[in-house]
């Protein structure tokens, strides 16, 4: 009997449910001032500050149009992010966290820890290491293919 290969489907479902659950945990916490999608931007800025929109797009995987709208909301409405025009290149803006955005890191870490405990419920440490090793290999395979396969072969035109 042939082995079924449902890894891609399972990964997609896990990604979907993980995002939805993270949004629920954020909403139910009461302290969080952002949603899961916005958390990608906030988290990127917790890791490295400041960053340009291009850098944030690369790190978060968000489309430029989506990123622009989210950054505007994070800055103007939620007051988590601030921006300044680059002094040398007027086309470039730098984004950084406000004090409120910095303080949200503790909340984000606590909620992420809660999500991780749900994600890995019932797993032994050795199983977690093994799973993450396999996922790392899959990620490497996909990144290698993206670098090697031209856009035309992916069903997209340049």
In this predicted structure, what is the pLDDT of residue 96? 98
In this predicted structure, what is the pLDDT of residue 2? 72
In this predicted structure, what is the pLDDT of residue 155? 57
**Bridge-partner residues for 56, per DSSP?**
none
In this predicted structure, what is the pLDDT of residue 141? 96
Q: For residue 131, what is the enclosing H or E element?
A: helix 125-148
Say how far apart CA 44 and CA 49 lie, in whole Å: 8
Q: pTM for this structure? A: 0.81
Query: Could you say which DSSP state residue 89 is in?
Result: -
Of the candidates 123, 62, 63, 64, the residue with the CA atom closest to the CA atom of residue 91: 64
Residue 131: count of CB within 10 angstroms of its CB: 12
pLDDT tens track, the chain, 158 positions: 678 889 999 999 999 999 999 999 999 999 999 999 999 999 999 999 999 999 999 999 999 899 999 999 999 999 999 999 989 988 899 999 999 999 999 999 999 999 999 999 999 999 999 999 999 999 999 999 999 998 775 555 54
């Amino acid at each position: 009997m042939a082995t079924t290969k449902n890894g891609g489907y399972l990964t997609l479902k896990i990604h979907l449910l993980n995002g939805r659950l993270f949004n629920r945990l954020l909403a139910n916490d009461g302290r969080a001032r952002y949603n899961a999608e916005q958390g990608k931007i906030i988290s990127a800025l917790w890791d490295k500050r400041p960053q340009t929109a291009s850098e944030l797009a690369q790190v978060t995987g968000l489309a430029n149009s989506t990123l622009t709208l989210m950054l505007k909301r994070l800055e103007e409405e939620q007051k988590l992010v601030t921006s300044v025009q680059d002094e040398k290149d007027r086309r470039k803006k730098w984004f950084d966290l406000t004090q409120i955005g910095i303080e949200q890191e503790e909340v984000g870490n606590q909620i992420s820890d809660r999500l991780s405990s749900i994600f890995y419920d019932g797993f032994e440490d050795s199983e977690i290491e093994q799973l993450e090793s396999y996922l790392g290999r899959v990620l490497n395979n996909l990144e290698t293919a993206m670098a090697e396969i031209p856009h035309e072969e992916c069903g997209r035109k340049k």
